[in-house]
Amino acid sequence: MGPRLFEQVTRGQQFPVEWDARYPSQGQTEADTPPGYITLFVDFFGEGNLRLPATHYMAGILHYYAFQISQLSPMGMVRIRHFEFLCRSQGLEPTVEKFRVFYQLIRTLGFFSFALCNVKKILINPLKSFHNWKMKFFFVREEVIPIAMLFHEPGTIDKEDTPIPKKAAWYDKLCATPNRVVGEQVFVAAVMSDKWSERSREVPVLLLHGEDVALYQSASQTFGGSMGVRPLRDDEEF
């Protein structure tokens, strides 16, 4: 990874100075994390749609499965964030318990990811691989993840037997959608990003034919709208 790509990610994601994002020195690997820092891979922010600081749901996943984010593959990040957005777009609160209905933890070549359980598919046409992703990394202050992460030692992974809630309304709402790399306003509207000015008196919304519509439209394969804004109502919090 060159310095230009590092700068493109950190500037594009508006990393504040206090996060002290560091470009790796020559010879450093992803395992050479300085004390008080974590290692992040660039592809987390592309197809993985990661935003920092991490959401409570993202922190909950890391806490439940007890591994550090640097032990996660980009494909694992795609599945985590796609599920979060899919829930948010349907007005559902994403939880670890819901996620476990669909995915089983796996480990491939030393990194964690998730395989679909014996349930309906909710992610279609994902990338098959990420080119040289292990070589594209940097370091950032550990405070961007609001939990104390544990390093998961190598070993067997216990298979989870999670009941499928086929009659639950939330389960029925989650339909197969592709993963999308979308604009920041979409994630702000989905409560998955805090990159919005605290001085703003506007709210990001999805517009279809000029009308404010439900966010689930942006998860649809036939999405034809665009993001816009509307005034913040007097009875609404920022």
pTM for this structure?
A: 0.85
The reply to whether 75 and 151 lie within a common domain is yes
- The answer to the question of residue 23 being in a domain is yes
User: Do 131 and 189 have their domain in common?
Assistant: no
φ and ψ of 212, to 5 deg: -75, 120
Give the CA count within 13 Å in the CB-facing half-sphere of 199: 0
Q: In what order do the strands lie in the sheet with 211-213?
A: 211-213, 202-208, 226-231
- Count the domains in the chain: 2
Query: Do both 62 and 142 map to the same domain?
Result: yes
Percent helix, strand and coil across the chain, each rounded to 5? 30, 20, 50
Residues 64-102 pLDDT 10s: 999 999 999 999 999 999 999 999 888 899 999 999 999
pLDDT at 211: 66
Provide the residue range defining the domain that includes 207: 182-231
In sequence order, the 6+-apart residues with CB closer than 8 A to the CB of 102 are: 83, 116, 117, 119, 122
pLDDT > 60? residue 221: no
Give whole-number Cα distances, 146 to 61, 77, 130, 216, in Å.
12, 17, 27, 28
Residue 45 shares a structural domain with residue 157 = yes
**142 and 104 within one domain:** yes
